[in-house]
Amino acid sequence: MEDKLHQFFSENNFDLQEPHSGHLERFERKLNRPNKKAKTSWKWLSVAASVVLVLGFWLGSNHQKKQMDLADVSPKMEEVQNYFVSTINQEIKTLELNRSLDTESIIESALEELEELEDNYKLFVQELTKNGKHRRIIAAMIKNYQRRLDILERTLKQIDKIKNSNNFNNEIYI
């Protein structure tokens, strides 16, 4: 061990010279000197960040107002959208309540399909905003909601089948 230490120190050149006279005093003066630049840069930085935040909120709110949704078409379409959204949310909650090791893959698959349909719906919103209230776009948006409900209902039926088969298997062994 001692040989390795001697070898290490002999192979490497270390600066072993003393610092110049007055080095410690110069170092202490630099440490004790007030630094005014740091305080002013923080002030400007905080002002700039505030301006960027305000500008971002303003641009975001303007962008949201410009996008059109199914509820903006007519009061009837608003009712339709509210019905679908509330029903879909309720069905998703039911799915989550039935989550188990047996149903995990089915639920994840359904949620992936729902995400894909949600992405498609966002494209319809952009198209509706750009092209106006065309029946074709409105019909596609409603069909998108219907597909989501169909996926959820199909998944819940599959979960019921799995639960029933598990209950049946448990009853046989009792």
- Across the range 109-128, mean pLDDT stands at 90
pLDDT at 10 over 90: no
- Across the range 84-96, mean pLDDT stands at 90
**When comparing pLDDT for 66 and 96, which is higher?**
96
Name the least confident of 3-7, 118-122, 161-165: 3-7
In terms of residues, how long is the chain? 174
pTM of the complete model: 0.58
> 3-state secondary structure string, 96-135?
HHCCCCCCHHHHHHHHHHHHHHHHHHHHHHHHHHHHCCCH
CATH number for 74-169 (one of 2.40.128, 1.10.3470, 1.20.120, 1.10.150): it is 1.20.120
Return the closest-CA partner of residue 129 out of 66, 41, 74, 78.
66
Return the closest-CA partner of residue 114 out of 138, 98, 96, 133.
96
pLDDT at 91 over 80: yes
Question: Would you say 159 and 103 are in contact if contact means Cβ atoms under 8 Å apart?
Answer: yes
